A and B are shown apart, each in its own frame.
Chain A
């Protein structure tokens, strides 16, 4: 195919060049328009979120730090017992291999969970967790769910290994939840 020089020519549409007086007037007017635009931002007020004091609300299905759950104290069948039965399905589903479950038998004197067995050790290494939520899907008893906490920094790696007691406890600070249509 022969080279066609006209194919490389790009058509640029330019506004008609203003004469001197019109150009000066336009520059002045456009500057004023720009100043009006920036002043409108002052009137609008800041849009920033003052983070440590003010937190971004999360959506209800936001996947934050995990939480383990108990039955209600008012539950007729098993009041206050842990939902987790130590089946290790979450550990099996975990792609990052960050969950460690060691199960033990419930005894009549020492009943911890609703099932036959309970989790004697339940640890999640949050420095490895990828927050995919597969554990939540795998759990047959809805014992583990993804919570709303997203402030998960710490000074040492070992502090990021959350034990069963930490996962069962209520979060110290509630993460604000986004309302309908927010």
Chain B
């Protein structure tokens, strides 16, 4: 049997399970806080407070909403296809969480005499795995939109499909520059190659292309045509309520975290700080999370600023501007590395 990828396991099996549980548990505790962070920050950008009624400073708002969503009656349109209608949100959240496993939170640590890598898994195909997962997560959108049996959902899903093919290419090509420079596909390897200089400096163009493509990838404003609420009610999840809706909502936020994590690892040097000051190892996840929060804030800031693009503008921007730029960036990087 041919191994498709090398997974650098050196932990015992129980350490793998503990890592998976900790990453899953901590991130799903952070996720509701991210929703409230987005809404409060969005409020500030619009000259208002945002939710501030439930609990101190409105911090209990996500909790109240989860209770509300979880207790809602599950329903589906008569035109929908029941099996796929239920499967699609699960697919969306499953693929997002799978991609989350790749985000490196810290270097290898020695805890209780065992070596722990502070990340889910370290695969020799890191970014490819993430792209594969985000590609599959669009099946969640497309299946959900199609299986809903509603025109708005279908239109949203079609837009999602078109958006995916026009942006994933540019996003991938933007990262290839980094991969060529680091000469490895392992995310920890890429981070360790950034001790001297973060790749955001030599790969500035790649970073900008990656960020723009990420906005489209995560269906965030100004590229949220998939759920364009002015035209399509809510796009692909128009017919979803209750837990199905929450699954889609959370998968969007998890996607944001994945994209922020990848950007942090590939361009912002992961757990490295300028000048490489020596901190105890447990600081690493905090540094990574702080860097991810910079990207999160940027996502929200852009959402508060830019209006939604028209559909043809989006497509022509992806194919005519981003893809040639990414290719050019790749070519120049390749020439510089070889010469």
Contacts and interface: CB of A to CB of B under 8 A. Distances in A.
Interface in B273-327: 301-302, 304-306, 321
Interface in A39-71: 39, 41-42, 44-48, 50
A9 interface: no
B306 A34 contact: yes
Interface residues of B, number: 14
B46 A41 contact: yes
Contact of B301 (A39, A45, A47, A50): A39
Given A34-B306, A42-B44, A48 B301 contact: no
Contacts of A41: 44-47
Contacts of B49: 46, 48, 50
Contacts of B302: 35
B48 A38 contact: no
Interface in A141-161: none
Given A46-B47, A46-B48, A46-B49, A35 B305 contact: yes
A24 interface: yes
Contacts, number: 36
A26 to B, nearest CB: 13
B305 A47 contact: no
Contacts of B321: 24
A48 B48 contact: yes
Given A24-B321, A35-B301, A42 B45 contact: yes
B305 A31 contact: yes
Nearest to B43: A46
A142 to B, nearest CB: 42
A38 B305 contact: yes
20 contacts: A24-B321, A31-B305, A34-B305, A35-B301, A35-B305, A37-B305, A38-B45, A38-B301, A39-B301, A41-B45, A42-B44, A44-B47, A45-B44, A46-B44, A46-B47, A46-B48, A47-B48, A48-B49, A50-B49, A50-B52
